[in-house]
Amino acid sequence: MGKTLIKGGTVVTATEIMEADVLIDDGKVVALLGREHSVDADEQIDATGKYVMPGGIDVHTHMELPFGGTFAADTFETGTRAAAWGGTTAIVDFAVQTKGESAMDGFEAWMGKAEGNCAIDYGFHMITGDINEQTLKEMQMLVDEGVTSFKMFMAYPGVFYSDDGDILRAMQKGAEIGATICMHAENGIAIDVLVEQALQRGETDPIYHGIVRKSVLEGEATHRAIKLAELTGVPLYIVHLSAREALDAVIQARDEGKNVFAETCPQYLFLSLDNLGNGFDGAKYVCSPPLRDESEGHQQRLWQGLQTNDLQVVSTDHCPFCMGDHPQFGTQKQLGRDDFSKIPNGMPGVENRFGLIYNGGVAEGRISLNRFVEIIATTPARMFGMYPRKGTIAIGSDADIVVFDPNGRTTISVDTHHMAVDYSAYEGWELQGKVETVLSKGKTIVANDEYLGSPGDGAYLRRGENQYKI
């Protein structure tokens, strides 16, 4: 690969906004040049009037996740290609250990699914679904392989659920080996009682998914996870935080100087319980935690959390299921036509995060341009041990770069998106700004509304420790 020069653009990182040209050689950024220079390159990209930003890093995706009797609709090939289209140049997906299985086997299986298929670089967290002596040993082996974070579930009894004892044991091990525990914090045992009671009353529509999964039960679980983490000293990262009660618990812990971190997702910033209405159409929006009742003010609190750094990251929790039949996996959302609790949980979004957060955050005046880059790229990289190779534009960093036109427009639609799912959660939304050109390790993979990459461009990312841990 020869040299590439991105010329005439405004380079934006988490800390700088500068008029500079970016020189790339052998997949890395090798120089940031003032405008007056005589450097030439084999390929030139004209970025005049555009922002030159680090590629997005989405640290919460579920390609091909087995869930609710089916599989998430995007494969590593389709999902990472869609991510690239939307300005994301690295993902951290979730490998799965199911009950009775070894965690290392789960990791190898997910490596097999991804290898040779990805458009962009990828790493893995490990879902530990069975905490026992062998799993605790394997956690160290996984850290050695670059899997430095483990997701646990206080939700989904009988599926991924871990009780407090298992969580405590995994946290103790995590603290010992330099890992981060990622927590799905909802009180699944209490929620299942409310689900059963709702179904007994004949409340079967998708809206009841949102009604029974009470925000207070996310707050309670978040508080409990924090207290368990405090006992052990392990860094705790609350995934897909949706409720103001959960945010309050995170704020309190952070104010006390604890190693507690949290992400939210676009769906919680832009959508609400109302989307779960409208009969079975609401199934499109069934995810957990659920979309919240806007009259309770969750969205506004989440934006505030992003402004004050009480929330550090926006990821997507991309986990798409089709409303109609999936060509390979068959019935998906329709599995819950007569019972909301059987609707596979999850929503598409890996392609939309960069554009939605720029529009709702920067264009609508809620966050600065630097903060946008921090939330979308730099902090995810540092949180999960990939910085400064990823998450910034600096000498020596991978040339994962987005040329973004702030004056362009993007219309979101199922007709034009690249995710392998038959609906968009943001159908018809018009966004300010457009992802124009995307480079992955110096190779242009999206330009002029064309995909130029190939499966296998992306490589496995061996990650280090959480770089925020005090």
Query: At closest approach, how far in Å is the CB of 303 from ligand URP?
Result: 20
Residue type for position 444: T
Distances in Å between the Cα of 457 and the Cα atoms of 26, 30, 117, 197, 401 are: 14, 21, 8, 49, 15
* CA Rg value for the chain: 21
Distance CA 149, CA 468 (A): 14
x-marked contacts with ligand URP along 156-185 as a string, rule CB under 6 A? ----------------------------x-
Is 401 a binder of ligand URP (CB under 6 A)? no
Distance CA 102, CA 65 (A): 17
Is 129 a binder of ligand URP (CB under 6 A)? no
Is 283 a binder of ligand URP (CB under 6 A)? no
Q: Which residue is nearest to Zn ion (CB)?
A: 184
Among 287, 356, 377, 421, binds ligand URP (CB under 6 A): 287
Is 317 a binder of ligand URP (CB under 6 A)? yes
The H or E element containing residue 21 is strand 21-25
Closer by beta carbon to ligand URP, 170 or else 435: 170
Closer by beta carbon to ligand URP, 177 or else 319: 319
- Yes or no: say if 445 and 84 are a contact pair by the CB < 8 Å rule: yes
Q: Which does 287 bind (CB under 5 to 8 A by kind): ligand URP, Zn ion, none?
A: ligand URP
Among 10, 70, 97, 288, binds ligand URP (CB under 6 A): 288
Query: At closest approach, how far in Å is the CB of 447 from ligand URP?
Result: 32
Is 147 a binder of ligand URP (CB under 6 A)? no
- Yes or no: say if 212 and 194 are a contact pair by the CB < 8 Å rule: yes
Residue with tokens 């002029």: 448
Q: Which of residues 187-246 bind ligand URP (CB under 6 A)?
A: 240
- Yes or no: say if 426 and 411 are a contact pair by the CB < 8 Å rule: no
Structure tokens at 36: 């007056």
Closer by beta carbon to ligand URP, 21 or else 317: 317
Considering only CA atoms, which of 312, 290, 299 is closest in space to residue 468? 312
Is 62 a binder of ligand URP (CB under 6 A)? yes
Considering only CA atoms, which of 261, 259, 227, 221 is closest in space to residue 243? 221
Is 64 a binder of ligand URP (CB under 6 A)? no
How many residues of this chain interact with ligand URP, rule: CB under 6 A?
9
Among 346, 355, 361, 385, binds ligand URP (CB under 6 A): 346
Contacts to Zn ion by CB under 5 A: 184, 317
Query: At closest approach, how far in Å is the CB of 97 from ligand URP?
Result: 14
Is 4 a binder of ligand URP (CB under 6 A)? no
Query: Half-sphere exposure of residue 242, counting CA atoms within 13 Å on the CB side?
Result: 29
Give just the sign of the alpha carbon dihedral 371, 377, 379, 380.
positive
Distance CA 225, CA 339 (A): 30
Contact positions vs ligand URP (CB under 6 A): 62, 184, 240, 287-288, 317, 319, 345-346
